[in-house]
């Protein structure tokens, strides 16, 4: 598969088949992604591959915390304190599109909670990837990490797999680090659901829009 096709085909998938992803395939994806660039070749990425009983136990603890009203506290701030345009509208449209597709009405708070809780199960994908970085690293390494994450997702497409990058899975770093016995001084950046996408699932039937290149590009001659 060529890269341009993979870029267009990749999407955030929120329903997966109950089908095991073999460790060799995961290794193939990570082996490809490790070629992503990084400033002075720091390669700041650290990846935890969580499957099986460990995943079930971890996601159960996180979902229980969420449903008990614990909103968690991420290791860093992902979103702005104040939303301005055009980002506020894009954020709103993104959420409304999913709820409209699933037929979840504004007043149906329980279904909204249940749908959000699915985030903390990595949408029941067979594989949960968690991405960490040493706290000493600075903003430039976050840029590097973005290129690594995109490389993981494109390599997954090449292998016939689907993904969903999830900032929500960074909401409970303390639980995750304790359960995985991971160093508490690291920063949990995000998670990613990985598996074989369920093409028949309603939640996978929609695609968010992208702006035309003219809205974000300036040519200087």
Here the tokens at position 77 are 């701030």
How many domains does the structure of the chain reveal? Answer: 1
97 inside domain:
no
d(CA 115, CA 109): 10
CATH classification of the domain holding 29: 3.40.109.10
* C-beta separation of 154 from 113 below 8 A: no
Full-model pTM: 0.96
7 inside domain:
yes
Query: What's the pLDDT score for residue 45?
Result: 98
Q: What residue spans of the chain are helical by DSSP H? A: 3-9, 23-33, 52-67, 87-102, 109-117, 139-158, 173-180
106 inside domain:
no
84 inside domain:
no
* C-beta separation of 49 from 26 below 8 A: yes
Q: What is the pLDDT of residues 118-151, one digit of tens each?
A: 999 999 999 999 999 999 999 999 999 999 999 9
89 inside domain:
no
The owner of tokens 């709103």 is: 92
Domain enclosing residue 203, as ranges: 3-78+120-209
51 inside domain:
yes
58 inside domain:
yes
Q: What is the pLDDT of residues 97-110, one digit of tens each?
A: 999 999 998 888 89
* C-beta separation of 176 from 130 below 8 A: yes
67 inside domain:
yes
């Amino acid at each position: 598969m060529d890269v341009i096709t993979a870029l267009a085909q990749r999407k955030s998938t929120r329903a997966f088949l109950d089908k095991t992803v073999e460790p060799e395939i995961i290794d193939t994806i990570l082996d490809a992604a490790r070629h992503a660039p990084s400033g002075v070749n720091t390669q700041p990425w650290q990846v935890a591959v969580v499957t099986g009983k460990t995943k079930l136990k971890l996601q159960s603890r996180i979902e229980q915390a969420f449903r008990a009203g614990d909103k968690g506290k991420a290791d860093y701030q992902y979103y702005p304190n104040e939303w301005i345009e055009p980002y506020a509208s894009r954020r709103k449209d993104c959420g409304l599109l999913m709820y409209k597709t699933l037929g979840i009405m504004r007043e149906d708070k329980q279904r909204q909670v249940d749908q959000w809780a699915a985030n903390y199960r990595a949408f029941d994908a067979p594989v949960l990837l968690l991405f960490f970085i040493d706290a000493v690293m600075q903003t430039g390494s976050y840029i590097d990490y973005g290129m690594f994450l995109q490389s993981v997702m494109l390599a997954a497409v090449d292998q016939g797999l689907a993904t969903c990058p999830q900032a929500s899975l960074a909401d409970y770093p303390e639980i995750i680090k304790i359960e995985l016995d991971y160093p508490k001084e690291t920063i949990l950046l995000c998670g990613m659901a990985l598996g074989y996408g369920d093409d028949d699932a309603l939640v996978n039937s929609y695609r968010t829009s992208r702006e035309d290149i003219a809205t974000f590009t300036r040519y200087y001659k």
